[in-house]
Structure 1
Amino acid sequence: MRTTVGIVGAGPAGLMLALLLQREGIDTVVLEARSRAHVEQRVRAGLMEQWARDLMIEIGAGARLVREGLVHNGIRLSFDGRLHAIDFRRLVGRIVTIYDQKEVVKDLIGLLLARGGRILFEAEAIGLGGLAGPAPVIRFRDGDAVRELVCDVVAGCDGFHGISRASIPDGVLTVYERGYPFGWLGILSESPPPADELIYAAHDRGFALFSMRSPTLSRLYLQCAPDEDVSRWPDARIFDELAARLGGSCPLARGRVLQKGVTSMRSVVVEPMQHGRLFLAGDAAHIQPPTGAKGMNLAFADVVVLARALAAWTRTGRTDALDAYSRVCLDRVWKAQRFSWFMTQLLHRFPDETAFDRRRRQADLVDLVGSAAAATALAENYSGLPLAAAALEAAAPFSVSG
């Protein structure tokens, strides 16, 4: 097989990249190890920044998002027994939207296939070769056979445990990593959410997050030990603890628990995000704690930069935008890491926390709800920093809203 850009992974990053390149007339093939049914049911968080929502609409994949997505003007902070609103629309003129990532994937797959794009499901990439040359090769399983996809460029969009990053020789990448001494115990509950916007609760007992998937379906999280045994948490105990960490700031409805699991918390960034003709995007290059809601948004930002650079290269033969890919992306990635760390340390109770630390965190929370400048900084970062247009002058003229 032959294509211009071989894309490993049919998650949000790989699918969005394929659609952006298709719009520029650049041929792609997407290889996905799992079945279409599995990919379209894979549960992930689904908060979209303003510009990411605009991008979905712009490429023609936003009809269900506009119809079914839950628009939020901001978030609520819960502490000292009260709810405090941070109004993004008023502060920075932007919104965020709750829309399940699996629904995003469904929309992108449907659009790409309807437009004649090529996605090979149950095609597991097992090796990358020739990355330093002009014609990299992706070896993949196709049933009982092993086939090869020859391409000009490989986009590694296959997540943290995928083969793309693992194919880069030792010593090329610098890996920055930080683990956190807690996880999130999360449930999906058939119950109305306690508010019409996300609630981030800071409490002496630990952090809690009150999110939603619909007006009747809640996604709820509790700070817990990173190795927490879920069997120790029957439904009643979870709801009791959630109510306790709300601290009486608002009532909490209880419902039937549909899912239950523990999410680990860590930050990882690899530099550079490229090696030869291989370009990493999304979780293949960086992961961050979910407190800042940056995962899918950063993946989209990466592939917008990559698509622009590839469009410029195929039009003119110039490589300056491709050469700058990692630098441009990492500027945004590190800002997102800083914000995710800020939100995580602000809201969680650390095992070695002192009385001084607790009072300092309390002062940070009071400052956020009492200072327009502090609230604006949070709103800017949470709702999505604009894409760095100046750094992309040499690339294709996409009209993504900032």
Structure 2
Amino acid sequence: MRKSKAAAAQALFQPPAGLKPLAERMRPRDLDEMVGQRRLLGKGSALRRAIESGHVHSMILWGPPGCGKTTLALLLARYAKAEFRAISAVLSGLADVRQVLAEAEERFVAGQRTVLFVDEVHRFNKAQQDAFLPHIELGRILFVGATTENPSFELNSALLSRCRVHVMEAVSVDDIIDALQRALADKERGLGGRGLQAADEQLRLIAQAADGDVRRGLTLLEIAAELAEGEGGAITDATLAQVLADRTRRFDKGGEQFYDQISALHKSVRSSNPDAALYWLCRMLDGGCDPHYLARRLTRMAVEDIGLADPRALQMATQAWDAYDRLGSPEGELALAQLTIYLASTAKSNAAYVAYHTARAEVRETGTLEVPMHLRNAPTRLMRQLGYGQGYQYDHEVEGGVALDQSCFPEVMGERIYYRPVSRGLEIRLKEKLDRLRAARNSAKKP
């Protein structure tokens, strides 16, 4: 049976175990060594029973970096006594996919199954994803695709229909601490026997900096251990400060987390929770979100969710946006924070938003209705002779300042009500005035 160049190279250039990173050396060898994912892989769970029995199915593993997607794929192959092959959608093209599938077909004919692990599967285009379909259907491969992006948006429906999606979660701080302690104690694969000392609180700081990523936590521990060996084997606070100085949080500027977080910010403002809104604003800024994007979204909130309950909100939004442009980062971010707090704290109304969409929908439904003659402009003699502007009442000259019996809608429509102010903020006064005017118009039309 022929081997792919990648497989041959992998076999030829396997590094000694001591040169492998700690995270790779400590990769779980069975399901009991997996940390986190209790919902998916806990004792008695459906997936765990299937894996332990060797009756696994093609699947998509969706979860953040370092949550165990690759490890789970390896364990699937081990429990199923299948050949494990891995390709990356970042590095592989359609030719590589076809070669790996051809090798899997040969093994299938010889009576051996193949677990084909496709990392970053969402980066494959439709044609590349379609290449797997017949092989999944015929059972030639057990397909395991790993993705950090929402499969609903990134994978085609044909592939999704043939695979079950399993959602994997970020690993908790306590579970990462367990993995760190295991690495410190393990003399065969880990750091055991090297005399390293780390306080519980220091391990917790490393686990928190890992931000749900076990691999990242083990990498930080390995760096701290290397520095500590030159200091008598103790991981000191000073050492840890160096290791954790430039830690960053998980954030994908164009992916699922981005849209989830802007949704959380918007809904926190709408729910009048300034503390939660400020938290999500800081999360997005911390993750590297463009402040101009946030300024635009906050301005939209001022229009959509505050509206005429507090017209100052829109003014403040444009001023905060302008302040950021003038000050830049980080000073200008304070203007966005101030705006966020104000938007979340002030009165809310979507009445103008609803009114606009209602009126727009009716415009689309009713088509091009004629403007009433009394509302038309009459700049020429001919237009005046044709009746343009005839019968128009100039409101400023009418008692009370409003011509109550004068309709401003197309004649076939009659009066409509789109804008319904709420009893909050400035709209309380607008509502009182409009209720009086609408009632007076109705009375003026009665014979």
Same fold (TM over 0.5): no
TM-score by length of structure 2 reads 0.23
More strand by share: 1
More helix by share: 2
Higher relative contact order (CA 8 A, sep 6+): 1
Larger gyration radius, structure 1 or structure 2 = 2
